[in-house]
């Protein structure tokens, strides 16, 4: 698959998409959003892609925000449409029924932080930096940053980051619960791929259920969240992978999960 703004390849069941505009620190423009959407659609329908990883080209940036050059041509309506377009795409990332890992190798600012927060979890280089600097342009985040950030780090810290525009480093992000793990820069992609390949070997139906139940359960009370979990637990018993997993455990061998999202 050939793109102008991203690179995409499949390695051992893992789809790796690289934002590839290093001259502008991989900034997001409408064409890039279109290509990400195409990658997502391909990943959703292709059984050979079991996990998706996002990373950035070069050693400076994951995604350093939206392409500011585009902003001078916006009016209030076109800006609204641009924000809605990004938000729809990021919801599609959240709702992809496969694990999505953000492999943050450098600056994740503005739209870069927003797209990483729409992934299931973030692994970061020790050189990574995170922030919502839109305030410095007289703006606020437009791709869901105020909402996802407050849910991940709390309202007070989210307000501070959005109001000051200050960046935090990878270790601070980990302490806040924004980042799952931090690795030395030269080990980041290898360590991320180890986890991605491990996930690719697991039951796709169970992974999908975990993602759905955790995300949906976060928006309801505990009792209803547990009801969602119980229902998903029961559904797994109709899947081929559950029988393979239990049989492998009892037979003391490694399971070979071959089921799809629906089997």
Which residues, 6 or more positions from 81, have their beta carbon under 8 angstroms from its beta carbon? Answer: none
Strand (E) or helix (H) holding 18: strand 14-19
Q: Is 240 a catalytic residue?
A: no
Q: Give me the catalytic one of 70, 84, 94, 114.
A: 114
Cα-flanking dihedrals φ and ψ of residue 207, to 5°? Answer: -60, -45
Torsion of CA 245, 251, 253, 258, to 10 degrees: -30
Q: Where are the beta strands (DSSP E) in 39-126?
A: 51-56, 61-63, 100-104, 107-109, 121-125
- DSSP-based three-state secondary structure for 235: helix
Q: Give me the catalytic one of 4, 35, 134, 175.
A: 134
Q: Is 231 a catalytic residue?
A: no
- Give the residue numbers marked as catalytic: 114, 134
């Amino acid at each position: 698959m050939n793109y102008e703004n991203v690179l995409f390849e499949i390695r051992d069941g893992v789809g790796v998409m690289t934002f590839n505009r290093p001259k502008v620190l991989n900034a997001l423009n409408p064409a890039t959003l279109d290509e990400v959407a195409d990658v997502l659609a391909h990943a959703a329908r292709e059984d050979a892609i079991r996990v998706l990883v996002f990373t950035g080209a070069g050693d400076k940036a994951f995604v350093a925000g939206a392409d500011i050059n585009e902003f001078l041509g916006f009016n209030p309506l076109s800006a609204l449409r641009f924000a809605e377009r990004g938000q729809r795409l990021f919801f599609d990332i959240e709702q992809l029924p496969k694990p999505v890992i953000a492999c943050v190798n450098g600056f994740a600012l503005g739209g870069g932080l927003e797209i990483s927060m729409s992934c299931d979890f973030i692994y970061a280089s020790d050189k990574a930096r995170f922030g919502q600097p839109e305030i410095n342009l007289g703006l606020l985040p437009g791709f869901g940053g105020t909402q996802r950030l407050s849910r991940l780090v709390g309202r007070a810290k989210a307000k501070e980051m959005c109001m000051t525009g200050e960046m935090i480093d990878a270790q601070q992000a980990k302490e806040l619960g924004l980042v799952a793990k931090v690795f030395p820069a030269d080990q980041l992609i290898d360590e991320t791929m180890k986890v991605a390949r491990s996930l690719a070997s697991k039951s796709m139906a169970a992974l999908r259920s975990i993602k759905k139940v955790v995300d949906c359960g976060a928006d309801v009370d505990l009792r209803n969240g547990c009801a969602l979990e119980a229902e998903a637990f029961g559904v797994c018993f109709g899947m081929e992978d559950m029988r393979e997993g239990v049989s492998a455990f009892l037979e003391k061998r490694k399971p070979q999960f071959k089921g799809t999202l629906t089997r």
